Amino acid sequence: MLSTLDLPPPRIGDAYNPDCPTRHVLDRIGDKWAVLVMLTLKDGPVRFNDLRRRIGAISQKMLSQTLKSLERDGLVSRAAFPTVPVTVEYRLTPLAGGLIGILDQITHWAESHVGDIMAARRAHDGTDALAA
C-alpha cells in the first residue's frame, strides 16, 4: 500500500522530523510564553511573582510550566533563598544568550518589515472584498 509515496523519511533537509535539532529550537522560539519569559529575564534576574506581573497576561500555571521547561533545557537557572517567605530568582544562563541574539534579530527584521506584511494583508483582504 501507499506504493506511490513510500519516500523513506521526509526529504528536505529540515522537513518534518521531531528529532531534527532545529525542531527543538524552533519549538522554543515558537513558544509564546517561553519567548516572553526569556525577554523579561534579559536584563537580569527576576522573581516569580515579578515575572508574573511584568508579563501581565500569563497564568501561574503557564509561568510555572514554562520556567520548568526552560530550566530543564538549561536556558534558565533557578535560585531559592531560605527567607520567609521564600524568595526565588530566575535568570538566563549563558546558553540562552544565543537565543536572545536570534530573538533580537527577529525583532529587528520584524520592525523593518512588518509594514510590508500588513500592506500585503490589506491588499489581499481588499482584493477579497472586491471579489466578494
Partner DNA sequence: CCGTATCCGCATGGATACTG
Partner DNA sequence: CAGTATCCATGCGGATACGG
Q: Which residues bind its own copies (CB under 8 A)?
A: 5, 7, 9-16, 21-22, 24-27, 29-32, 35-36, 39-40, 53-58, 71-75, 95, 98-99, 102, 105-107, 109-111, 113-114, 116-117, 119-121, 123-125
CA pair distance 87, 48, nearest whole angstrom: 8
- Residue 132's Cβ-count burial label (10 Å; 0-12, 13-18, 19+) is exposed
Nearer to its own copies, 79 or 110 (CB): 110
Cβ partners under 8 Å of residue 14, min gap 6? 20, 22
Nearer to DNA, 15 or 108 (CB): 15
CA pair distance 90, 69, nearest whole angstrom: 13
Max CA separation in the chain (angstroms): 67
59 binds, among DNA, its own copies, none (CB under 5 to 8 A by kind): DNA
According to CB under 7 A, which residues from 77 to 116 bind DNA? 78, 80, 85-88, 90
Footprint of DNA (CB under 7 A):
31-33, 47-50, 57-62, 64-65, 67-68, 78, 80, 85-88, 90
